[in-house]
Amino acid sequence: MNDEIFLKKIGENIVKYRKAKGLKQIDLAIKLNMEDSALRRIEKGRINSSVLKLKKICGELNIDIKELFDFTR
């Protein structure tokens, strides 16, 4: 799997879990204290987010970080 696909799949998982929690992008961005445009780029797989940022996202979504890397679902 190339890097571009890898980042897109992580972003898709963030979207899936965010929507499952009933959160809009802006809601999660506010909770993360970040611009919604930055969250949008992460969700679209356009930027390589830091591990710490992914950890923070997982904390707000109440999921284990390994769930972001599960591309089988």
Domain ranges in the chain are 3-65
Q: For position 56, what pLDDT does the model report? A: 97
Question: What does pTM read for this prediction?
Answer: 0.94
Spatial separation of the C-alpha atoms in residues 36 and 3, rounded to whole Å: 23
Q: Kindly write down the DSSP assignment for every residue of the chain, as one continuous string.
A: --HHHHHHHHHHHHHHHHHHTT--HHHHHHHHTS-HHHHHHHHTT-S---HHHHHHHHHHHT--GGGGG----
* The pLDDT of residue 16: 97
The CATH number of domain 3-65 is 1.10.260.40: yes
Contacts of 18 (CB under 8 A, 6+ apart): 25, 28, 43, 61
Banded model confidence at residue 72, pLDDT cuts 50, 70, 90: confident
